[in-house]
Amino acid sequence: MTGPDIRAFRGELLSVPRDPRDDRDAVRHESDGLLVVEHGVIVARGPYGELAERFGRVPTTDLPGLIVPGFVDAHVHYPQMDRIAAHGEQLLDWLDRHIFPAEMAFADRAHADRVANAFLDELLRHGTTSALVFATVHAQSVDALFEASLARQMRIISGKVLMDLGPAGLADTPQSARAGTEALIARWHARGRLGYAVTPRFALTSSDEQLMVAGQVLAAHPEALLHTHLAENRREIQAVAQRFPDAADYLDVYDRFGLVGARSVFAHGVHLPDRSCARLAQSGAGIAVCPSSNLFLGSGFFDFGQADAFGLRIGLGTDVGAGTTFSMLHTAGLAYQAALARGDRLDPFRALYLATAGSAALLHVADRVGALEPGQEADFVVLDTAATPLLARRTAGATLADRLFALQILGDDRAIRQTWIMGRCAWDRTCPTGPAIR
């Protein structure tokens, strides 16, 4: 069986399509595996010995390393990449002092184009092939990101930020929020691999009228996601309680405007009352857990024990620029440390699940990416378990679980040897000419 656009990849394959907490057989591993890709989609996957006869004549590339699904970053801000490592403040002051001034520059389309291209290259260098991304309040910031994503064939979901109570120069209105969002959905949703998320920044930067508009637009576009922040930092939570004294809790503010449903993705959820967890579970809404950001802004540690007790859907996000790394590997290692700080143990296979299929499920793209299953798009990463001398020492002769955990604790972009998008090499660390897709 050969065809004009069919090729195979041989190497060690690992994926975790389901949460290993729920399914002990969730880990799929072939120490000598074959991945067969036709027109960018996986058509077969299994042990090389079982598939070699059927696909023996397909051109095959050997990929030395550990092949895992491309990472899915469930919450990240592209306009903040150049404000990463901004010193000195927790959330509300950090926004005022560092972030809002930086986001104002995205009124300039050329600036947005430059940053969007640099941002997507940085995702690829870190093995991230899909992401749910905050842009800015400016519609053209979304155009810039989607255009650059389309050129790289990446699976990116984004939307114009709604923030009519934002600072001067960064505030829209309920009317422009509606018109801008509607126009962007018409222009971009489902074009190539792109998707749209209705994106109110958080409860404090939108008027009641704008939150209502967000709910109405969402109801009119059931294909879109809802993407916002929730219960991240103590002072923010206090301010929300002061402004909305009648709401049962922070989540209830969003609920009152129709923003809580199965397609809602809330970043953080560090400080959630049990009532919020029960409502999240009942609605099917999910949390993008962002441990790097939570540490950097002094927000706290996500409560994995509570989330698991309520059966919450969770994924992992870097939250750059409050997060200080683009690496989903490193973010998985930080999730382990955040969990342990509250007495919970995050298994490395579950951490890999959260960074791939778990985040994909949160973003409602788990049928397309995240598990290296036949029928899915061929986005994958080749990990180098000997990327640094220390990693090489720690992983030599180690079990699969130990190698994976060492990659999460010690790994970063150096451990990403190659990133493949739909069966094409998009980043090769060993190739001096850099990404092949342009």
CB 323 within 8 Å of CB 80: no
CB 103 within 8 Å of CB 160: no
Nearer to ligand GUN, 23 or 93 (CB): 93
- x/- site string to ligand GUN, residues 66 to 85, per CB under 6 A? -----------x--------
What CA–CA distance (Å, rounded) separates 152 from 424?
10
What is the chain's Cα-based Rg? 21
At its nearest, how many Å lie between Zn ion and the CB of residue 205?
12
What CA–CA distance (Å, rounded) separates 89 from 298?
9
**Span 244-303, contacts to ligand GUN by CB under 6 A:** 293
What CA–CA distance (Å, rounded) separates 289 from 252?
20
At its nearest, how many Å lie between ligand GUN and the CB of residue 99?
5
At its nearest, how many Å lie between Zn ion and the CB of residue 74?
11
Within 6-138, strands assigned E span 6-15, 28-38, 41-47, 60-69, 71-77, 128-134
Nearer to Zn ion, 9 or 196 (CB): 196
Q: How many residues does the chain have?
A: 438
At its nearest, how many Å lie between Zn ion and the CB of residue 232?
8
What CA–CA distance (Å, rounded) separates 138 from 379?
30
- x/- site string to ligand GUN, residues 21 to 60, per CB under 6 A? ----------------------------------------
What CA–CA distance (Å, rounded) separates 333 from 291?
9
Q: Which of 375, 425, 421 is nearest to 42 (CA)?
A: 375
Under rule CB under 6 A, residue 322 binds ligand GUN: yes
Judged by CB under 6 A, the number of residues near ligand GUN is 11
Stretch that binds ligand GUN, among 91-99, 308-316, 345-353, 410-418 (CB under 6 A): 91-99
Under rule CB under 5 A, residue 319 binds Zn ion: yes
Strands 286-289 and 313-316: parallel
Stretch that binds Zn ion, among 16-24, 54-62, 215-223, 263-271 (CB under 5 A): 263-271
Under rule CB under 5 A, residue 73 binds Zn ion: no
Q: Which residues bind ligand GUN (CB under 6 A)?
A: 77, 91, 95, 99, 201-202, 229, 232, 293, 319, 322
